[in-house]
Amino acid sequence: MNSLETVIAAIHYIETHLSSEKIDMDIVAAAVHYSKYHLHRIFVDTVGLSIHEYAQRRQLTEAAKLLVFSNKPILDIALLAGYDTQQAFSSIFKAMYKQSPRQFRKNEVFYPLQLEFNFADQRTALGNIRKGCAREIRFVNEPDIPSWMELVHLAVDGFPHLAEEEHLAVLRRYIAQKSALMLTEGTIAIGGMMINYETGSIDFLAIHPLFRKMNISRDFLAVAVKELLRDREVSITTFREGDKADTGHRKTLKELGFAEAALLTEFGYPTQKMVFSREDSNGDRTAKQ
Same domain, 39 and 168: no
Q: Which domain holds residue 266?
A: 131-280
Strand order across the 235-239 sheet: 137-139, 180-185, 188-196, 201-207, 235-239, 269-276, 258-266
pLDDT at 227: 84
| 164 residue type, one letter | E
Same domain, 136 and 90: no
Same domain, 57 and 168: no
What contacts 185, CB < 8 A, 6 or more positions away?
125, 129, 135
Question: In this structure, is residue 161 part of a structural domain?
Answer: yes
Nearest 5 degrees, angle CA 55-CA 160-CA 46? Answer: 40
pLDDT at 285: 44
pLDDT at 286: 44
Question: In this structure, is residue 209 part of a structural domain?
Answer: yes
Neighbouring-strand partners of residue 269: 266
Indicate which CATH number applies to the domain containing 23: 1.10.10.60
CB atoms within 10 A of CB 184: 19
Same domain, 46 and 141: no
Question: In this structure, is residue 237 part of a structural domain?
Answer: yes
What contacts 66, CB < 8 A, 6 or more positions away?
72, 77, 80
Same domain, 155 and 247: yes
Same domain, 99 and 191: no
Flag residues of the chain having pLDDT under 50.
281-286, 289
Question: In this structure, is residue 223 part of a structural domain?
Answer: yes
Same domain, 201 and 99: no
Question: In this structure, is residue 119 part of a structural domain?
Answer: no
Same domain, 73 and 165: no
Indicate which CATH number applies to the domain containing 274: 3.40.630.30
pLDDT at 130: 58
Same domain, 84 and 140: no
Question: In this structure, is residue 241 part of a structural domain?
Answer: yes
pLDDT at 143: 95
Same domain, 183 and 262: yes
Question: In this structure, is residue 255 part of a structural domain?
Answer: yes
Rg (CA), the chain: 19
65, 92, 107: which is the final residue of a domain?
A: 107
Q: In the chain, how many domains are there?
A: 2
Same domain, 59 and 136: no
Same domain, 102 and 135: no
Question: In this structure, is residue 138 part of a structural domain?
Answer: yes
C-alpha span between 4 and 1 (Å, rounded): 8
CB atoms within 10 A of CB 114: 22
